[in-house]
């Protein structure tokens, strides 16, 4: 298992009339968590894309526990609990406020895809090597 933590402040343009994070914007926060985790591995999405692989979402579920509110500093914990048979990867996300209250849970599964040939492909070898150090 490997976990990464990043922070994001809820901006005015991301909330609804009640001052709560608009439900469609939660997926943006999941992506922030995933992108930062991959970057911490030393293989950011931009490099993966240069290698001809993108990661589209194939499944997403979320549980709203308490509202995420305007101007809160949110801690995003992103975890890979296990490795799937390739070509899938699941990220587990938890959102906390500054008081360490758990606000939201999500699970997002992505696949590896080559946009040039329009086909699913295996996980890039570089990412396999990085993850192998965390899952032995």
85 falls in which pLDDT band (50, 70, 90)? confident
Strand, helix or coil for residue 123: coil
Nearest to 76 by CA among 25, 36, 20: 36
Determine the pLDDT at residue 86: 73
Model-level pTM?
0.93
Instruction: Say which CATH architecture domain 2-132 belongs to.
Output: Roll (3.10)
Q: 16 catalytic, yes or no?
A: yes
The residues pairing with 109 across neighbouring beta strands, listed in sequence order, are 59, 90
Is the confidence at residue 75, as pLDDT, over 90?
yes
108 falls in which pLDDT band (50, 70, 90)? very high
83 falls in which pLDDT band (50, 70, 90)? confident
Q: Which is the catalytic residue, given 16, 51, 71, 122?
A: 16
Structure tokens at 67: 């509202």
Backbone dihedral angles phi then psi of residue 117, each to the nearest 5 degrees: -100, -5
Once rounded to an integer, what is the mean pLDDT over residues 77-102? 94
């Amino acid at each position: 298992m490997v976990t990464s933590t990043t922070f994001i402040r809820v901006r005015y343009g991301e909330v609804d009339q009640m001052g709560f994070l608009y439900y469609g914007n939660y997926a943006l926060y999941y992506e922030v968590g995933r992108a930062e985790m991959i970057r911490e591995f030393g293989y950011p999405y931009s490099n993966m894309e240069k290698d001809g692989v993108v990661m589209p979402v194939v499944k997403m579920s979320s549980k709203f526990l308490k509202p995420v509110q305007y101007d809160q500093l949110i801690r995003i914990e992103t975890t890979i609990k296990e490795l799937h048979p390739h070509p899938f990867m699941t990220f587990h996300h938890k959102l906390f406020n500054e008081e360490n209250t758990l606000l939201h849970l999500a699970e997002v599964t992505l696949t590896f895809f080559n946009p040039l040939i329009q086909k699913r492909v295996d996980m890039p070898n570089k990412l396999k090597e990085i993850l192998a150090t965390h899952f032995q």
